[in-house]
């Protein structure tokens, strides 16, 4: 099973300090997905993970580690579908980022679940044909 991992999960795993009670569960599940070679990546998530790293050496080390995770190719159709999803939910008063809706478009097209701690995705799922990954551990 392949899983599209949202930036917030990567952030949990890369933090040195625990920030919430569910931290251990999320990090353990993420680690299992890595061991199972299930983690999928997209360029916008890669960019978000690498953005804001002040130390250039740390950036290069993390960049090289992230290259181990395959990218899902994003098409123009994916961007267009993400825009449709954004507009649909916005008309219902539901906000999300461009990256959020791109993940939703990919989840729909490929049938791949999204692993996230962002509660908005549960709301998106009520209106969009997406799959979400739940921690199994």
Q: Which tens digit of pLDDT belongs to each residue from 96-131?
A: 999 999 999 999 999 999 999 999 999 999 999 999
Residue 130 falls inside a structural domain: no
Residue 131 falls inside a structural domain: no
Number of domains composing the chain: 1
Average pLDDT, the chain: 93
What residue has token string 């990218």? 71
Residue 99 falls inside a structural domain: yes
Rg (CA), the chain: 15
Q: What is the CATH number of the domain that holds 45?
A: 3.40.50.1010
Residue 81 falls inside a structural domain: yes
Span between the terminal Cα atoms of the chain, in Å:
15
Residue 86 falls inside a structural domain: yes
3-state secondary structure labels for all residues of the chain: CCEEECHHHHHHHHCCCCCCCCHHHHHHHHHHHHHCCCEEECHHHHHHHHCCCCCHHHHHHHHHHHCCCCECCCCHHHHHHHHHHHHHHHHCCCCCCHHHHHHHHHHHHHCCCEECCCCHHHHHHCCCCCCECCCCC
Summarised one tens digit per residue, pLDDT across range 59-78 is 999 999 999 999 999 999 99
């Amino acid at each position: 099973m392949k899983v599209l991992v949202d930036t917030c999960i990567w952030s949990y795993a890369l933090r040195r300090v625990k920030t919430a009670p569910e931290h251990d569960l999320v990090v353990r599940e993420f680690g299992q997905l890595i061991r199972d070679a299930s983690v999928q990546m997209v360029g916008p998530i890669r960019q978000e993970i690498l953005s804001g790293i002040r130390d250039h050496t740390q950036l290069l080390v993390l960049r090289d580690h992230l290259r181990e995770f395959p990218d899902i190719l994003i098409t123009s159709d994916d961007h267009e579908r993400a825009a449709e999803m954004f507009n649909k939910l916005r008309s219902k008063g539901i906000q999300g980022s461009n990256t959020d809706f791109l993940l939703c478009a990919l989840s729909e097209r490929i049938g791949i679940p999204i692993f996230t701690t962002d509660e908005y995705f549960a709301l998106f799922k009520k209106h969009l044909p997406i799959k979400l990954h739940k921690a199994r551990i």
